[in-house]
Amino acid sequence: MTALLSLAGLTRRFGGLTAVNALGFDIGEGEVVGLLGPNGSGKTTALNMISGALKPSGGQIVLRGEPIGGLSAHRIARKGVARTFQLVRVLPSLTVLENVLAGLAFRGEPLWGEVAQGEADVLLRKVGLEGRAGEAAEQLTYIDQKRVELARALAARPALLLLDEWLAGLNPTELRTGIDLIAHLRDTGTTILLVEHVMEAVRALCGRCIVMNAGTKIADGETSAVLREPDVVRAYLGTAHA
């Protein structure tokens, strides 16, 4: 089986700091993989390199057999990599509907006009925003902004979806809803790399986990086994986060 995404020796330095150090792993088609690690361990930097927001200092990123490391973000997006952001980023001056239309209009196979409207309706229903199309995105509550962001990412019909702490900051009820939503995506075959601190979500969603500490991968395997590994426990106990 060839991997959907394959990282090898992926490295990013900021001045003297090596934020991601020789990171390597494969993700198969349809897998939902958790990427864990204490704050500052390099998870977002890794996502930024995969999505093209940052250029790698070294190493390879291969998507479906094609090297994409160092390409500009819009090229990578058009190849089917979609993402959400750790600090939610809706397009504030656009409506909910326009946010999703923007996700459809510039993907690899762009969708525009009436077809796009229909597709946007489907996506809004999928994330629980039916009937909210005309609302201004910047006036939505936090969870609804997260829904918009997810719908916009799904609009790309992504081969690979990168979620950066998409569940952070939700209250328990919202968290349940959020987990169910991602579970639904998993069950319909979306490949997801999920950066997450909420252990409940990781256990519920990810069959496999990768753990980073100080830029380096320290564990990779079946979720419950990984979470019991002494190195992982130590990495987490050593920081404020748990």
Partner 1 sequence: MKTALGFAVAAIVFAVLALAPFYLDAYGIGLMIGMTGYVTLASAWGLFSGRTGYVSLATVAFFGMGAYTVAVLNETLPYPVILLVAGAIGLLVAAVVGFSTLRLAGVYFVIFTFGLAELIRQLVTWFETTVTGTLGRYIFLPIGPEHIYWQLLVLCAATLLITWWVGRSRLGLALRVISDDEVVASHIGIDIARTKLALFAVSAVIITLVGAIQAPRWTYVEPAIVFNPTVSFLTLIMALLGGASRLWGPALGAIPLFLLFEWLSANFPNHYSILLGLLFIVIVFLLPRGVAGFAEDLMRRRPGGTPAPAKPAPTPLRSEGGEARP
Ligand X SMILES: Nc1ncnc2c1ncn2[C@@H]1O[C@H](COP(=O)(O)OP(=O)(O)O)[C@@H](O)[C@H]1O
Applying CB under 8 A, the residues found at the interface with partner 1 are: 19, 39, 44-45, 48, 51-54, 72-74, 77-78, 82-83, 85-89, 91-94, 98, 101-103, 105-108, 110, 112, 136, 138-139, 141-142, 145, 152, 155-156, 164-165, 168-170
Name the binder of 41 from partner 1, Mg ion, ligand X, none, CB < 5-8 A by kind: ligand X
When the beta carbons of 28 and 126 are compared against partner 1, the nearer one is 126
Nearer to ligand X, 14 or 112 (CB): 14
Subset of residues 33 to 92 that bind ligand X, contact rule: CB under 6 A: 37, 39-45
Question: Residue 191, interface with Mg ion (CB under 5 A)?
Answer: no
Neighbours of 122 (CB within 10 A): 13
Closer by beta carbon to ligand X, 181 or else 212: 212
What residue 231 binds from partner 1, Mg ion, ligand X, none (CB within 5 to 8 A, per partner kind)?
none
CA distance 78 to 80: 5
Asked if residues 156 and 101 have their Cβ atoms less than 8 Å apart, the reply is no
Please report, as residue ranges, which positions from 79 to 98 form the binding site for Mg ion (by CB under 5 A): 86
- Alpha helix stretches (DSSP H) within 30-128: 43-51, 73-78, 96-105, 114-126
Q: Which of Mg ion, ligand X, partner 1, none does residue 28 bind to, with CB < 5 to 8 Å depending on kind? A: none
Please say whether the beta carbons of 166 and 146 come within 8 A.
yes
Strand partners, 209: 34, 221
Nearby residues of 161 by Cβ (< 8 Å), 6 or more positions away:
82, 83, 153, 154, 185, 190, 191, 192, 193
Distance of CA 54 to the CA centre of its chain: 15
Q: Which does 152 bind (CB under 5 to 8 A by kind): Mg ion, ligand X, partner 1, none?
A: partner 1
At closest approach, how far in Å is the CB of 132 from ligand X?
Answer: 30
- Please give the structure tokens belonging to residue 17: 């700091």
Decide: helix, strand or coil at residue 100.
helix
Residues that bind Mg ion (CB under 5 A): 44, 86
Interface with ligand X (CB under 6 A): 14, 17, 19, 37, 39-45
